[in-house]
Structure 1
């Protein structure tokens, strides 16, 4: 199962990118949900969906749905790394977006006072 499964391989990059983009896309979709509970926790929702997709892929590998040597713990680590990377990017994006939005509202209020 784990023979020939190197840490540095194109497969690991695919796992990182797959989970990264699943987390980003599902987080942005969660921000547009009807329910405020989901919108406030969009990064968590995106991360959970991404990890679930990565786990589902590993289960499918183990059962032989894809041509692979089976489930790999190294692939699972790459999935977690991609999800954490996406969560970091989303947190940085949200903090800069919130800061930019509050700066604009402060400037608008200052202009209204003049």
Structure 2
């Protein structure tokens, strides 16, 4: 019995890379907005938008807008993996590039 939707297909890599890229792009755009809420939660914002884009693509596949066998749970998992990798990269970069004095405590003020 052959599998028409193998896990190790080029299509899955495309889904991972697409959602990874969208997560980075949307998160970066959110950090550049004038709204502090979006800047503060930019990684979550980028991740959610990327997942929504992946879900919209699967919905369009199911409706027949693309040459595809229809929606696939494996494609959705690949989308999620791409978002997860993108989010982890962004959290790592945010952690590594934060200033030394950003410890969550108030700065000490010298009166001299």
Give the whole-Å Cα distance in 2 for the aligned partners of 1:75 and 1:7: 9
Alpha-carbon distance, 1:84 to partner: 0.4
Alignment correspondent of 2:12: 12
Alignment correspondent of 2:100: 102
Structure holding more helix per residue: 1
Alpha-carbon distance, 1:78 to partner: 0.1
| Other structure's SS at 1:102 match | coil
Alignment correspondent of 1:29: 29
Give the whole-Å Cα distance in 2 for the aligned partners of 1:18 and 1:76: 12
Give the whole-Å Cα distance in 1 for the aligned partners of 2:100 and 2:28: 21
Alignment correspondent of 1:79: 79
Give the whole-Å Cα distance in 2 for the aligned partners of 1:21 and 1:47: 10
Alpha-carbon distance, 1:13 to partner: 0.1
Alpha-carbon distance, 1:82 to partner: 0.3
Structure 1: gaps spanning 5 or more residues: 104-114
Structure 2: gaps spanning 5 or more residues: 102-112
Give the whole-Å Cα distance in 1 for the aligned partners of 2:65 and 2:22: 21
Give the whole-Å Cα distance in 1 for the aligned partners of 2:46 and 2:83: 9
Normalization by structure 1: what TM-score? 0.85
Give the whole-Å Cα distance in 2 for the aligned partners of 1:43 and 1:59: 24
CA RMSD of aligned residues (A): 0.9
| Other structure's SS at 1:70 match | coil
Normalization by structure 2: what TM-score? 0.86
